[in-house]
Amino acid sequence: MNVISTHIGQPVSRIDGVAKVTGQAKYAAEPHPPGMLHGVVVNSPITRGRIETIHDAEARQVPGVIEIMTHLNRPHAALFEKSYMDGLGIPGAPYRPLHDGEIHFNGQPVAVVLAETFEAAREAAMLVRVDYERWPHNADFEVALHQKYMPSKTRSNYVPPKPRGDAAAAYALSAVKTEGRYHLAPEHHNPMEMHATTVIMEDDGTFTVWDKTQGPQAVQAYLASALSLSKDQVRVRNPYVGGAFGSGLRAVYNVFLATLAAKMLKRAVRVTLTRPQMFTHAFRPEAVMDIALGASRDGTLQSMIVKGVTDTSRFEHNMENIVIWGLINYRCPNATADYKVAPRDTYTSSDMRAPGAATGVNLLEMAIDEMAYACGMDPLAFRLHNYSDIDAMHDMPLTSKALRDAMAQGAQHFGWHDRSMIPGSMRDGRELVGWGMATGIWDAMFSPTSARARLGQDGRLHIATAASDIGTGTYTILAQTAAEAFGMPLHRIDIELGDSALPECPTEGGSWTAASAGAAVWLACHSLRTKLFAALARCENAPSWARQDSVKLEGGALHGMNENAQDSLSLSDALSLTGQDVLEAEETAKPGLRGKISQMRKARFTHSAVFCEVRVDPELGTVRVTRLVNAVAAGRIMNPKTAASQIRGAMVMATGMALHEDSLMDERVGRFMNHNFAEYHIPAHADIPDMDVLFVNEHDDEVSPLGVKGVGEIGMCGTAAAIANAIFHATGRRERNLPITPGA
């Protein structure tokens, strides 16, 4: 049987685009079940302490208020901490909303006002007064650094590997040395859609939960465990998600509170978070990295010493993989890494787009640029000189690495070789012009994923998996995969995502969905095709040519392959001949080549080379990014249009990291104070230039069954560093803190 390859790799527009721009797409805060109550969360204004008294009598007098739920009157929920563990598996004691009167962080929910209208709930929430016993707290990262530690229990991949060589001795003997502390400010996820949950109490007593999440099955498992329910009692739906960037990897407190309230009142409940409340849960951790590099006079790296610290809450030990990236990517005989976490009284820091790498790669690439100048070498030439064809830290071969090609193609497209080496030597009028570059690296991950393919009497192909589409184009690339695997036109394919009742799929994050869900869909479609042909082969009233191996499936129909035959059969007719109304197949894709785990003995990464031009006003200190070029090596590109969109989106976020985004903590009260778009600066249209994305040809038949590497995170890795390095080239002033602002 043959399949014509016409869909994968094509720049298909998003198949869900019309639904989104016309308002047909339904998000978590949009279902309107009858009798629905609106919930507004009351947050703690203190950072540590205990609730003494809740004064809610005045709030209860507001017309339309039905109930005010607190830790004193809530219905039963699980008592033990392990029942609140989620899919991320962060060690420690997970936060239990409304568990008791103890306050662990500023902004912690202390009550939920439930009313017939949102306006009544909001008014009453402002009337709830709480007396607290206040305890000492620390929200100062600099103070927390003195309490840094390595958790006794943590995920093994976050523990730095054994050193190679003797980095300290090699550093002492190096002819050229650089060392410094590099700092990244904390950042908050700010997707367009804020977190919201609508819980519908069904007639049979089960709960249908519409939630803004990146993993409906993870939320289902969390709610079932935390509320002492069976999984059959909870169905979580998120067919459309208005961005997440990692904020939806964990179950946010609104989903627990909304479901708990629905359980309490036996009514539908909606709880939505405000933009300021979006600053009361997950955020990218603040980080410092102490980096010491040693090299010989010809620019050969001899020593790499990287020590990193990120912040976490007091009650959980969140860790990220921040210190290892440069040690993997560069050839150096002596390298060591150390990593600790620093506790402070906040909510637990958590994954944000390219977690760990967005911090570690960008800060390390700023240090690499510094070393290149110390050696008197062009930054691109320095990186090529120290290029590693293997995972240098673990001494492992790679499934593929086309970073050298990415650097060459990116440099040519950018015009890098016209660059003046001397900082401050390039001008345009009164503005200083700087050109900088950096490389990026991110894991090319693959997770076991299941998908179902079903052919109905209408001749349409229905694909289902519990994957989420958080704006990445998952609907579209899965449709393209199915179209190619089954020989079906795109317009006759239906994709169903975002439902915990669908075949198992891990939470969308880490850039694994395209490879994992894509492979599952491919396998399911091939299995369905095999079933169809087997059924036809057994069908005596089917045309003889349709019962032969020499048949092709193309354009949603079966065609004879004989030279003179013009025979064809629609899929609807073919299914009718088999006597079945529906034919379906479900398959699970697993890591490794053709499902074998043996290939895990090779390291797998996505790589990039980023080139940037900035213009700096020497009097005002303002920076304009005027050009960005990102050359990406990511295996097989499923859809260059949606993939390039993902890279550009990450580059916009990285521009925010480099120049804008900084969650400002008032240590006295333990609160992030700039919790709105007026004061938390994200890049606007005027801040972003045209961005060129180049995809480097990279064949890799080992990284995943379809040769696909994800692209959702790689645009974050190296872009902020390229901007910082361009600012140095423009000004001659080396900045080691991100974001770089005019007052820095």
Q: Which of 104, 102, 112 is nearest to 75 (CA)?
A: 112
- Whether omega for the bond prior to residue 739 falls within 30 degrees of 0, making it cis, is yes
For residue 155, the one-letter residue type is R
For residue 206, the one-letter residue type is T
Secondary structure (DSSP) of 548-563: SS-EEEETTEEEE-ST
Which residues does 507 contact at the CB level (< 8 Å), separation at least 6? 87, 213, 214, 215, 217, 218, 249, 468
- What kind and span of H or E run contains 620? none
Radius of gyration of the chain (CA): 27
Which residues does 587 contact at the CB level (< 8 Å), separation at least 6? 450, 451, 520, 523, 524, 526, 527
Is 540 a known active-site residue? no
Other C-beta atoms closer than 10 Å to the C-beta of 638 total 28
Catalytic residue among 320, 370, 484, 713: 713
Q: Which of 493, 483, 706 is nearest to 3 (CA)?
A: 483
* DSSP assigned state of 76: -
The pair of structure tokens assigned to 58 is 């005045």
Distance CA 539, CA 541 (A): 6
What SS3 string covers 638-692? CCHHHHHHHHHHHHHHHHHHHHCCCCCEECCCCEECCCCCCCCCCCCHHHCCCEE
Distance CA 476, CA 16 (A): 7
Contact 695, 606 (CB under 8 A): no
The pair of structure tokens assigned to 606 is 């996505």
For residue 657, the one-letter residue type is M
Helix, strand or coil for residue 485?
Answer: helix
Other C-beta atoms closer than 10 Å to the C-beta of 390 total 15
Pairing relation of β-strands 551-554 and 665-666? unpaired
Contact 740, 658 (CB under 8 A): yes
The pair of structure tokens assigned to 191 is 């997707």
Measured CA distances, 719 to 58, 145, 440 (Å): 52, 27, 8
Contact 184, 367 (CB under 8 A): no
Which residues does 105 contact at the CB level (< 8 Å), separation at least 6? 44, 47, 280, 313, 345, 346, 347, 670
Taking every pair of C-alpha atoms in the chain, what is the biggest distance, in angstroms?
89
Beta bridge partners of 625: 614
Q: Is the dihedral of CA 271, 275, 280, 283 positive or negative?
A: positive
Q: Which of 743, 640, 653 is nearest to 695 (CA)?
A: 640
Which residues does 289 contact at the CB level (< 8 Å), separation at least 6? 181, 182, 183, 306, 307, 308, 309, 322, 323, 359, 360, 363, 364
For residue 390, the one-letter residue type is I
The pair of structure tokens assigned to 598 is 């043996």
- The catalytic residue positions are 713
